[in-house]
Amino acid sequence: MTGPAPTAPTTPRLEVVVGDITAETVDAIVNAANSALQRGGGVDNAIHAAAGSALQPALDQLGGCPTGDCRITPGFNLKARYIIHCVGPIWHGGTGGEDDALAACYTRAIALARDQGVRSIAFPAISTGVYGFPRDRAARIAVAAVRAAHGPGGPDLVRFVCFDDASANAYRTVLDRAGDQPG
């Protein structure tokens, strides 16, 4: 006689690392994209370079993406099977709905991951680079949105892959306050 089938955890394991998101061995990585879904700078440029020349034509077929939403493509030359392209908000002082738009990126990415059966996902610190979103505020929003969006069939592992220690420390502080054990 066998017991009940294992179920996904009610909350994902959350990890924080400093590194190169393109080198992550996960089912999906998240790209901090622009609304035209055209190759940009920062993490977007690194993902395009690592994924290879097939990525841009795949994005061109999607016709853009509004702020706060995401689109998904294959991972092409990456270790990840999928790239989830999220368009984060540009920071305008916090009075233009930036918090809600950033939370929507994480919520939508988790939903797309769940739809594709993704068990592990890596996020960059969306909007905290050239879009100017304050990193501490972004970390609080990201962690809360991931937790709120997670449900049955969602990823077991969510890794926040930060470009530098300052960004990683913002995520670690949020997780430490909640009693989590960040990686």
The chain-wide mean pLDDT, for the chain, equals 93
Residues 6+ apart with CB under 8 A from 54: 74, 76, 77
Give per-residue pLDDT as tens, 89-142: 999 999 999 999 999 999 999 999 999 999 999 999 999 999 999 999 999 999
Q: What pLDDT is recorded for position 179?
A: 65
Asked if 119 contacts 81 with a C-beta cutoff of 8 angstroms, the reply is no
The confidence band for 6, taking pLDDT boundaries of 50, 70 and 90, is: very low
Give per-residue pLDDT as tens, 25-76: 999 999 999 999 999 999 999 999 999 999 999 999 999 999 999 999 999 9
Instruction: Choose among 70, 73, 29, 76: nearest CA to 53.
Output: 76
Q: What pLDDT is recorded for position 135?
A: 97
pTM over 0.85? The answer is: yes
Which stretches of the chain are DSSP H helices?
Answer: 42-51, 55-60, 98-115, 135-149, 165-177
Instruction: Choose among 137, 144, 131, 147: nearest CA to 167.
Output: 137
Positions marked catalytic: 44
Instruction: Give the architecture (CATH level 2) of 13-176.
Output: 3-Layer(aba) Sandwich (3.40)
Asked if 156 contacts 12 with a C-beta cutoff of 8 angstroms, the reply is yes
For the chain, give every domain's residue range. 13-176
